[in-house]
């Protein structure tokens, strides 16, 4: 018999497992279609779309686990990045459709997405930063 306690190189620690759990929950929420749908079906769609193993997604959802294989974690991370990249691409496509207009809706979308405004008509970058700094001090 070999000593299995020496085989720790291919296992992840608890912090990475918690990250994988959060990513898998996000992927499942993205694929869940509402009433009448099951978590198993959502996991299957996530596996088909993004390559995250459905068994690992469901295992992370239903069990408290303390370790997992690195390859499983990497596949969940890759699927999470693919899904997030797709969302970023859709945002950029929608943003480019509206052009560089200074509408309030585009500025609001930029604010929600965490983008800094490049310019506002009649203001340069230094003026924008000065206005933001003065607004930060007011209640």
CB 93 within 8 A of CB 87: no
CB 11 within 8 A of CB 26: no
The answer to whether residues 118 and 60 belong to one domain is: no
Is 2 domain-assigned?
Answer: no
Are residues 116 and 84 located together in one domain of the fold? Answer: no
1 within some domain: no
| 5-9, 13-17, 55-59, 106-110: range with highest mean pLDDT | 55-59
Contact 123, 131 (CB under 8 A): yes
Residue 88 sits in the same domain as residue 23: yes
- Whether the pLDDT of residue 139 is over 60: the answer is no
d(CA 117, CA 55): 43
Q: Which of 63, 79, 97 is the last residue of a domain?
A: 97
pLDDT at res. 25:
92
pTM: 0.58
Asked if residue 79 and residue 57 are part of one domain, the reply reads yes
Instruction: Give residue 123's domain range.
Output: 101-139
Amino acid 68: pLDDT: 82
- The reply to whether 106 and 76 lie within a common domain is no
Give me the pLDDT at residue 70, please: 86
pLDDT digits (tens, 9 = 90+) for 88-118: 777 777 777 776 665 676 777 777 767 665 5
- Identify whether residues 52 and 120 lie together within a single domain: no
- Per the structure, the count of domains in the chain is 2
Q: Is the pLDDT of residue 4 over 70?
A: no
Both 14 and 82 in a single domain?
yes
Whole-number Cα distances in Å, 119 to 31, 136, 138? 37, 19, 22
What does the pLDDT read at residue 112? 72
Does residue 59 belong to any structural domain of this protein?
A: yes
Same domain, 48 and 26: yes
58 with 124, same domain: the answer is no
Residue 82 in this model has a pLDDT that exceeds 60: yes
SS (H, E, C) the chain: CCCHHHCCCCECCHHHHHHHHHHHHHHHHHHCCCCCCCHHHHHHHHHHHHCCCHHHHHHHHHCCCCCCEHHHHHHHHHHHHHHHHHHHHHHHHHHHHCCCCCCHHHHHHHHHHCCCCCCECCECHHHHHHHHHHHHCCC
Q: Are residues 44 and 69 in the same domain?
A: yes
- More confident position, 68 or 109: 68
Q: What are the residues whose beta carbons fall under 8 Å from the beta carbon of 79, sequence distance 6 or more?
A: 23, 27, 46, 50, 51, 52
């Amino acid at each position: 018999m070999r000593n299995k306690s020496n085989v720790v190189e291919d296992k992840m620690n608890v912090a990475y497992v918690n990250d994988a759990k959060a990513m898998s929950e996000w992927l499942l929420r993205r694929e869940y279609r509402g009433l009448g749908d099951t978590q198993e079906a959502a996991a299957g769609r996530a596996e088909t779309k993004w390559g995250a193993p459905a068994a690992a997604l469901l295992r992370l959802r239903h069990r408290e686990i303390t370790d997992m294989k690195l390859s499983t974690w990497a596949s969940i991370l890759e699927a999470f990045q693919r899904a997030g990249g797709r969302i970023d691409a859709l945002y950029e496509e929608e943003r480019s459709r509206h052009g560089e207009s200074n509408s309030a809706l585009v500025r609001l979308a930029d604010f929600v997405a965490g983008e800094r405004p490049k310019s506002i008509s009649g203001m340069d970058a230094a003026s924008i930063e000065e206005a933001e700094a003065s607004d930060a001090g007011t209640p």
